[in-house]
Structure 1
Amino acid sequence: MSADSPDRPSGLMVDLQSEPVGVDVADARFSWLVPALGDGMQVRYRIQVAASPSSFGTPFWDSGPVTSASSTAVPYTGPRLSASTPYWWRVRADTSVAGDWATPSRLITAADSWGGAAIWGPAVVEDSGVENSWVLLRYEFDLPDSPALVAFVEAAGRSPEGGQTSQTGPRGGRQYVYKLWANGRVAGRGSVRASDTRARYHTHDLSGALRPGRNALAALCWAEHGRQFIARLVVVLADGHRVEIPTSTRWKAASGARLLPGTADIGGGWYRAPREDWDLRHEPVGWTEPGFDDRDWAPALACEAPPDPAPATVSIEQSLGEVAEAARQTDGRWFIDLGREIVGGIRLDVDGTSGARVHVRVGEELEHGRVRFRMRTHNVYEDIWTLRDGPQSVEHWGYRAFRYIELEADPALDLTHAVRPLVLRSPYVGGAAFTSSDPDLDRVWELCRYTIEATSLDLYVDTPARERGAYEGDAYVNQLSQYAVERSYALARYSGEYLTRRPTWPSEYHLMPVLMAWEDYLATGDDRQFRTDFEHWEGLNYDRFLGEHGLLRKDPGPAAGGWDADLVDWPATYRDGYEFTEVNTVLNAFQAAAYAALARIAEVVDRPRDAAHYRDLADRMRAALNSLLLDASAYRDGLGSTHHAQHATAFPVALGLAPADRLTGLGDWLRHGGIRMSVYGSQFLLEALCKAGRSDHALALMSAAGPNSWLHLIDGLGATIVPEAWDPSLKPNMTYSHAWGSAPVNVVARWILGVRSESPGAARVVIEPRPGPLSRMSGTVPTIRGAVTVDYDRTRGTLHVATPPNTTGHLIVHRAELGLAEPVTVEAPAGSAVARTPERIEITDAPVGDVNIRWGDRDA
């Protein structure tokens, strides 16, 4: 039976990873897509774990048949797995018909020790008196003439990342420390930033990169302080033997000061990442490959070992694009427009002359027809690459955010076909789609979809350019948007864990990690973070400021950047005149929502006293918000204020705190005046409008023109990733790579197509299409159980909805909004409950399958 047989489960994941590494040896969680077999509803599963793909006849663990509908976050209950070891697993899922085994999938378990020594290379001080941090490390080794079952490297690079709260002095690159090669092939980069004191190590798959006989590992490293590289190669042979090669002082090291001279950084002020002035005349050609003569290299220097290792479940991958044809502007100057912004760098393949220089300038914008490489963010994206004689290749080691490339070189050097874009990001699985009768809305959706594809790195960061900082508000929007476009969850989980332990300065941001955790649980069904982080979230609450009226009374705080300062929105020009008082409506709304989330989480993890406590706090705070801050028209900015900023109403409504009988009126109030908040704040405005039943106005805002609009970003600014602000005139140092403005892609998925998870792991999904004025829309929304599709055509009088296997659907159809006219025909899977009222049609308990609704006289 073929691997893609419909009888087999597919989409296998362990610990939220499609290519699982660093897997928990005692508490792994398995997820899979149930096949569209029989009635599509799983009644039984069986999991096997084996030491090799061919040893399932005598598996390491066999769950036996388990009567259960669970297909997400299913716990491993076998004997403890060995550390740093590959295993293979498979699952079969029976529905009303018996299924077949999935194609085995590999996992690699977490390390329990480093297995090697931390090393670095010799220090070289430049003429300026500053130490050059570049080092080259390499090691050659022999492998036996025996087939390898699997080969991987566990590696970590350590460097402080710098403070999160203010520009108090740059430290660290806020990026990876090493780039690793195996036999001349790029194997990966690391490490991701750590949420605690433990270094995060990466597991890099070397399948196909090694061979019997002589092999080489090599790493190019840079770190400003705390320089450490540590790694262990593990090769498991087909006969079961294991070869381990750790880092040690037997590795060879060389300074990179001649290859990458200088100590300048790319600027921005928030971190230090190195400028890359490559001098290929001093490249030790072939140093990443076996056979290189490194006799003149020194032994690597031993460093103090880092604390106990912790696995990184998110990695940054590199991909090379097609050759980007360069247009000659004048003698020696070349221009490339990639068509859209990327995060990464460029690769230059050229036949050069010794000493010839190529000035490489990249940027997000053009200025007077030239690339603006001195960016608004104060980054300077300019490098000088000095060539040697003959054919050669060079590519950026670090990353930049840019669309345009300008090269300046000797006029005799032809660079027409010399450049390829080098894209860096965490693995992108894609799967979402959307088209509608509004081409402008489609353009906005694609802008926001590509934003998520392009900006997902080791964390949800505000921007890969100016700050590279993880912030809770940015991450909350980023998470919702990533769920809308990808069946991908590990990055959201790690970002939430990181921000739980490394909070940033705005007060309401401290209350968002628990909201992220609840969204994570609904998306994945995996409750492990609930059990490790509950006390962390409790500590982020503002209980100490609770007043007798049930609301927080707190100093709104000092100027921007001060710890615990109330933010509301950013930049300040987008606050719609918000009046800050000690009892701040926006902060109180977030605290009420955080209490409510803690109550739900406490129920999941069987903490009934905590559940009751936080439910009571949430209920009292919600009642006080609505009795003290909600007047006849809308919410006021705070106690003692008579001002109604758009934010004061949008946030409580979006967070589910407004009284049900006031939603219509509050939606009507919010629909006036356009968007009076930032691209970040618009997430809550759009969501509030949809929750208040005004999806028509949310659609109008998403496809509107004008200064505060996504069309202005596309047509007025030429953005291909969502920028930080609506226009540089309101934020002169803005970036053009800021995922916190991606709200339309998740609002379309969750409120226009209307696909939302109602129970953990998307076991039950609600589909409530709200097309507003759209005459046609079609979309695909990924879930961990598979994709939900919605296809609506008012002219044809059809609505088609399909849910994935092992999912129960709850379809809500608003007659007037969809233009339903009698007669209405409903075709739903057997077992569905269909209820009709003059206002809507509701189909509950719909098992997997298609629902078709047709209306009107289609033969007319």
Structure 2
Amino acid sequence: MKLESLWIAAIIIIAKSSTAEPTHLVDEAPISSSKLGSGSFLIDFGRVAFGNLRIESAHSVNQPITVHFGEAFSEGRINRKPLGTVRYATTEAKLNPSTPTVVEPPTDKRNTTHPKAILTPAEWGTLLPFRWVEIEGWSGKLQADQIVRQSAYSSTWDDRAASFHSSDKMLNQIWELCRYSIKATTFAGVYVDGDRERIPYEADAYLNQLSHYATDNDIEMARDTFDLLMKQPTWPTEWAPHMVFIAYADWIHTGDAEWLSPRYESLKTKLLLERSGADGLITSNAQQIKRNDIVDWPPVERDRYVFTAKNTVVNAFHLRALSYISELAEAIGNSKDEIHFQQLFTEKQIEFQKVFFDPTVGLYRDGIDAAHHAAHANFIPLAFDVIPESQRATITEWLSTRGMPCSVYGAQYLIEALFENGADAHAVKLMTAESDRSWRHMVESGTTITWEAWDMKYKPNQDWNHAWGAAPANLLPRYVLGAQALEPGWKTARIRPHPSGLTYAKGKIPTPQGPILVSWENSDEFTLSLTLPDGMSARIEVPSCAAVQHVYVNAERVAASRSNNYWVLDSPVVGTAEIRVKRN
């Protein structure tokens, strides 16, 4: 028996979870159902979502059934012994002939015990991430309208808010995998690390925030997560500065100083200043070296990093946070703090260079007196713009020989560093690489939500529903399409496409001002078509070609200056425009 391929979305329940951001249950119909040789039914919902089952019984008597829920599939059946914390559950249910029966998977105490875990509304019943269901004991036919998955999502999610399409089919699949991953993991109302724990972590939250901004119009979930994490911080050293990153990302995206102002003072506790040594650098004691300084996660992803009392990665995070908080001080009108933190940044940056840079190889060492040069000690300072311009080309070239030397978390910063330093083609190649350390590997595995790690062999207890693995959801709009906020609140945007070895790309980027539409083609000439929302202007930077060339806006030649491999238009554009770089 085959059900007609169908994807129904109808809001059935709206409820407040244990958090402020509203979430709801949505009816989703299966895309197919088949009767197995054993007489049981296999139902496929097409994608994994956090939910449970609602069954309508057409029978006049109570009917006991056994229901299996699965996140993994093997040899035509639900994998009942999946590795790690990939989800499988089974339960028995008795169908009611007169009313719908909600079938819940068994409760997992680890991810449903407050205060650590984030709770979903009790009236929903237990939720589990699953795609497939097997039903045993069902007599007669199974009709299309008799089984529904009740899936939990943010109640404000808009599937039409964002889009991405390019000349690379795999890249398009990667973006859609990552976009849906952000949607599916909104089930709890705040950003959580995955189903195993359902706990917010600062670094997870920041990466989730960046991708949420790039795929939807919501700003409240990031804010609710921020407020929760201020009350319930976690243990890694570098996770604390991520709170400054979250506040800064909110400011740049929204331009809302009213939200920022009452939270500003608490951000100072996230700078790691209490660990400053006599030279201004952040120091680590034995316990912090052993447990708190994280560099990357899981530990196997640290590129053999050597931990010392003065850690390059820890100090790079400290410098980035100082730079950001200086701007946040300016945003709320605190000129004293603005100057103070900028001075601290300048002084500490000089010391950072003196202690951590190894001039004999042109790379940064892992820490004070360390002889090892891990990838993280180089791509994180490079991404954070804390190293001199003169050293960036050498480091970028070296990183381009290292493959994917970090986790899905670290990849956010590695790929940012590559895009920001002219290695955009390599950045995209890392995403689509034919290896088990790429998003291509996730796509080809058949997963529909990004993983916690590149593969089970790198983190045997990983779960398969981790938003921190969805970095391309923000990287592709920000860099390949090239849309970033130049002024807080997107009053002015910067449109700077990175061709990345592609022949074309187009997409829709949500902003608080309204959506930006970008489409570009790269052949003998470079053509950028752009539509901006009302009230927004944009600084345009378009790739230059090899030959003598000029820049035209709506067929009229305009003034532009050359900066590295880009033409920067002298005047901003508004509304709808076509920008063309062509030869005489």
- Please classify the TM superposition score into its range, dividing by the shorter chain length: 0.7 to 0.9
Counterpart of 1:381, as a letter, is A
Partner residue of 1:437?
167
CA contact (8 A) 2:12 2:27 kept: no
CA contact (8 A) 2:26 2:151 kept: yes
Partner residue of 1:600?
327
Instruction: Write the distance in 2 (CA, Å) between the matches of 1:748 and 1:385.
Output: 45
CA 855–684 in structure 1, closer or farther in 2 if over 3 Å, else same? closer
CA 519–391 in structure 1, closer or farther in 2 if over 3 Å, else same? closer
Aligned pairs, number: 546
Partner residue of 1:854?
580
Instruction: Write the distance in 1 (CA, Å) between the matches of 2:540 and 2:200.
Output: 37
Q: Deviations over 1:412-437 (max 9, x none)?
A: 24335332222211121242111111
CA 650–837 in structure 1, closer or farther in 2 if over 3 Å, else same? closer
Residue 571 (str. 1) matches residue 298 (str. 2): yes
Q: CA deviation at 1:735?
A: 1.1
Q: CA deviation at 1:406?
A: 1.4
Instruction: Write the distance in 2 (CA, Å) between the matches of 1:350 and 1:843.
Output: 65
Q: CA deviation at 1:794?
A: 2.0
C-alpha RMSD of matched pairs (Å) = 2.4
Instruction: Write the distance in 2 (CA, Å) between the matches of 1:637 and 1:331.
Output: 58
Counterpart of 1:385, as a letter, is A
Counterpart of 2:246, as a letter, is M
Residue 619 (str. 1) matches residue 327 (str. 2): no
CA contact (8 A) 2:480 2:505 kept: no
TM-score when normalising by structure 1: 0.61
Judging by fraction of residues, say which structure has more helix.
2
Q: CA deviation at 1:512?
A: 0.7
Q: CA deviation at 1:368?
A: 4.8
CA 378–557 in structure 1, closer or farther in 2 if over 3 Å, else same? farther
Instruction: Write the distance in 2 (CA, Å) between the matches of 1:520 and 1:679.
Output: 23
Q: Deviations over 1:621-661 (max 9, x none)?
A: 22222221122322111112111111111111112212122
Q: Deviations over 1:210-247 (max 9, x none)?
A: xxxxxxxxxxxxxxxxxxxxxxxxxxxxxxxxxxxxxx
Matches within 5 A, 1:696-707: 696-707=425-436
Instruction: Write the distance in 1 (CA, Å) between the matches of 2:570 and 2:231.
Output: 40
Partner residue of 1:328?
35
Partner residue of 1:728?
456
Q: CA deviation at 1:695?
A: 1.1
CA 837–674 in structure 1, closer or farther in 2 if over 3 Å, else same? closer
Q: CA deviation at 1:523?
A: 0.6
Counterpart of 2:231, as a letter, is R
1:570 counterpart SS class: coil
Partner residue of 1:62?
none
1:504 to 224, 228, 234: 234
CA contact (8 A) 2:530 2:577 kept: yes
CA contact (8 A) 1:635 1:649 kept: yes
Counterpart of 1:479, as a letter, is Q
CA contact (8 A) 1:785 1:806 kept: yes
Q: Provide structure 2 residue ranges, at least 5 long, that are not aligned to the other structure.
A: 1-10, 105-124
Instruction: Write the distance in 1 (CA, Å) between the matches of 2:357 and 2:216.
Output: 38
Instruction: Write the distance in 2 (CA, Å) between the matches of 1:746 and 1:780.
Output: 12
CA contact (8 A) 1:829 1:848 kept: no
Instruction: Write the distance in 2 (CA, Å) between the matches of 1:453 and 1:832.
Output: 41
Instruction: Write the distance in 2 (CA, Å) between the matches of 1:829 and 1:341.
Output: 48
CA contact (8 A) 1:325 1:419 kept: no
CA 753–556 in structure 1, closer or farther in 2 if over 3 Å, else same? farther
Instruction: Write the distance in 2 (CA, Å) between the matches of 1:845 and 1:823.
Output: 18
1:581 counterpart SS class: coil
Matches within 5 A, 1:220-369: 312=20, 314-352=21-59, 354-369=61-76
Q: CA deviation at 1:834?
A: 3.5
CA contact (8 A) 1:776 1:793 kept: yes
Partner residue of 1:657?
386
Counterpart of 1:189, as a letter, is A
Instruction: Write the distance in 2 (CA, Å) between the matches of 1:579 and 1:549.
Output: 21
CA 556–434 in structure 1, closer or farther in 2 if over 3 Å, else same? farther
Partner residue of 1:642?
371
CA 853–348 in structure 1, closer or farther in 2 if over 3 Å, else same? same
Q: Deviations over 1:788-831 (max 9, x none)?
A: 22211123732222222111211111204xxx655534116999
Instruction: Write the distance in 2 (CA, Å) between the matches of 1:406 and 1:556.
Output: 51
1:681 counterpart SS class: helix
Instruction: Write the distance in 1 (CA, Å) between the matches of 2:564 and 2:320.
Output: 34
Counterpart of 1:640, as a letter, is D
Instruction: Write the distance in 1 (CA, Å) between the matches of 2:447 and 2:140.
Output: 32
Partner residue of 1:694?
423
CA 392–764 in structure 1, closer or farther in 2 if over 3 Å, else same? closer
Instruction: Write the distance in 1 (CA, Å) between the matches of 2:96 and 2:221.
Output: 41
Counterpart of 1:614, as a letter, is F
Counterpart of 2:448, as a letter, is T
Instruction: Write the distance in 1 (CA, Å) between the matches of 2:245 and 2:466.
Output: 21
Partner residue of 1:381?
89
Instruction: Write the distance in 2 (CA, Å) between the matches of 1:807 and 1:443.
Output: 30
Q: Deviations over 1:560-603 (max 9, x none)?
A: 8x5xx111111111111111111111111111111122111111
Q: CA deviation at 1:356?
A: 2.5
Partner residue of 1:291?
none
Instruction: Write the distance in 2 (CA, Å) between the matches of 1:357 and 1:395.
Output: 12
Q: Deviations over 1:137-177 (max 9, x none)?
A: xxxxxxxxxxxxxxxxxxxxxxxxxxxxxxxxxxxxxxxxx
Instruction: Write the distance in 2 (CA, Å) between the matches of 1:829 and 1:656.
Output: 37
Q: Which has the higher contact order (CA 8 A, sep 6+)?
A: 2
CA 546–422 in structure 1, closer or farther in 2 if over 3 Å, else same? same
Instruction: Write the distance in 2 (CA, Å) between the matches of 1:525 and 1:536.
Output: 19
In our comparison, the structure showing a higher alpha carbon Rg is 1
Instruction: Write the distance in 1 (CA, Å) between the matches of 2:378 and 2:299.
Output: 18
Residue 631 (str. 1) matches residue 358 (str. 2): yes
Counterpart of 2:302, as a letter, is R
Instruction: Write the distance in 1 (CA, Å) between the matches of 2:563 and 2:197.
Output: 53
CA 692–627 in structure 1, closer or farther in 2 if over 3 Å, else same? farther
Query: Mean alpha-carbon deviation: is it higher for 579-588 or for 421-430?
Result: 421-430
CA 356–575 in structure 1, closer or farther in 2 if over 3 Å, else same? same
Instruction: Write the distance in 2 (CA, Å) between the matches of 1:509 and 1:838.
Output: 34
Partner residue of 2:250?
520
Partner residue of 1:25?
none
CA 346–813 in structure 1, closer or farther in 2 if over 3 Å, else same? same
Residue 478 (str. 1) matches residue 208 (str. 2): yes
Instruction: Write the distance in 2 (CA, Å) between the matches of 1:767 and 1:553.
Output: 40
Q: Deviations over 1:712-747 (max 9, x none)?
A: 1111x2211111111112212111110101111211
CA contact (8 A) 2:251 2:489 kept: yes
Counterpart of 2:265, as a letter, is E
Q: Provide structure 1 residue ranges, at least 5 long, that are not aligned to the other structure.
A: 1-184, 194-311
CA 814–409 in structure 1, closer or farther in 2 if over 3 Å, else same? same
CA contact (8 A) 2:13 2:25 kept: no
Judging by fraction of residues, say which structure has more strand.
1
1:827 to 553, 559, 565: 553
Q: CA deviation at 1:833?
A: 5.8
Partner residue of 1:459?
190
Percent of residue pairs identical: 31
CA contact (8 A) 1:754 1:766 kept: yes
Residue 783 (str. 1) matches residue 550 (str. 2): no
